[in-house]
Structure 1
Amino acid sequence: MEHRYQQVDSLLQEANQTLEGSDSPYLDCQLILAFTLGQTREWLIANNDKEVCDKQANEFRNLILRRKRKEPVAYILGHKEFWNSRLAVTKDTLVPRPETELLIETVLNNFDDTPRLVVDLGTGSGAIAIALASERPNWQIVGIDISQDALKVAKDNGNGFPKLSWMQGFWGNALGDNCIDLLVCNPPYIAENDPYLDHLGCEPLTALVSDDNGLADLYLVILEASHLLKPGGHLLLEHGHDQQRQVCSRLEDSSFETTPLADLQGNPRAVLARKEIAA
């Protein structure tokens, strides 16, 4: 049987046309072809005249069709880079976003390696908890999620950090009052009628969508933090670009001092809040 071959560059151009209209079609094509060939994106750039056999070319085309149906590249590859780690991701977890690295930067800029108890609520793939564990080895860090399937992914990702542990539960229900030094959370905050959800159809909606125009889980986490945190403890909460005013207002009404934060694009993205110490 005769085997036919197609050059790397030709395959990429063909796939780029298939994905025309997506946010980053050529980059997606490069990442997926590199994955198919067991190579790196840099190898593709340096070897764009190399020939690819029919079998691998067809595997690549099938993966491109998955991307055309708006499946995230991270699900197709099975992993996503976040902070200093490559994390496994599945359809049971959200794909970690670059903007969430603002939470890691904020924590590192405000808290040294003094031992403390830190909780990542709604840990998903474990991205936040693992990033903090890698940077603050003296901290006791607990990742909590209601999904047992998500926790399995997080546990596999977090091997090798002796002070990192995992717990199944609904937000902080399994924790005691006044025991946490720092609570970090990236909760669901997208309104159920937000058109942006059309781009996120493959990710778990329970980790994306919240009632009350996306504010319900943000408010619930604030309520939980008010009794879980030690006096003087901190809550770091990611939110949507148009929610910072409401989040700060609810925090201040709940006896927190607030510091609003913006991402690299200047969009309101998070709030660092300190629980007041009773007089």
Structure 2
Amino acid sequence: MSETGTGAASQTGPQTGGVREVKSAGRTVELLEVLAARGDRPARLRELAEELGVPRSSMYALLQTLIDRGWVRTDATGSLYGIGIRALLTGTSYLDSDPRVRAARPYLDEASDALGETIHLGRLDGANVVYLATRESHEYLRTFSRVGRRFPAHAGALGKALLAERPDDQLPLGGDGLEALTPNTRTDRAALAADLAATRERGYAVDREEGVLGIAGFGFALRYDAPATDAISCSVPVARLTPEHEGRIVAVMREVRGKIESGVPHTNGAPDWRA
């Protein structure tokens, strides 16, 4: 009998990219993603077991393993669970090891100093954009845009700049309806397609209170990949967005985009990360 008998088979699931998925690994990742998505809302054992569709005993054992290793934390009663500090350390390592993030940081500072507005660097992740770096304005704070947060790509300047780099029939938005974050969010596919066409012609994306009421954004794809996976943006309260200020934002961000694109280092034998 093969050494990969029924015990090993029970630990595998459907094939992924020609390799059978390891169920225990997949379940661990799903659990961590669920806890991370809950933010400051801790979960109970019953909730996690039901959401992931596993027996409570199995979920409890998995939680205890991850608690021991620092990936999950629990409260003094042992009944509430949240994401652990190891997730932060791993996320920080992701940013520290990415040469493109390192290359962009000084130019984000430059844009922030020149404009006095909030500047973002984001990366497309499925139907969302993940914030990789942020320089906050001293005038206002956008707490939802902290590093590591996800934001629907169709509802903001960062995401629309990246969606516009792709054909309309290849947008990574899934088959479900588009979420409305404000009354101005484009939730109709045809309206979004028209907006992306205007973005391609203009050369940058514009978000006028589509993601957050009171905030406008201007997004610029970084074309060191094809199609682009990273973008930068400038966010500004509409209350102080004059035509003159908008023109300066576009000019500065275009210049900064060019500097970032020319400043991204060649791999020189280092891994060319694709995500």
Provide TM-score, normalisation by structure 1: 0.32
Name the one with the larger helix percent.
2
Normalising to structure 2: TM-score of the pair?
0.32
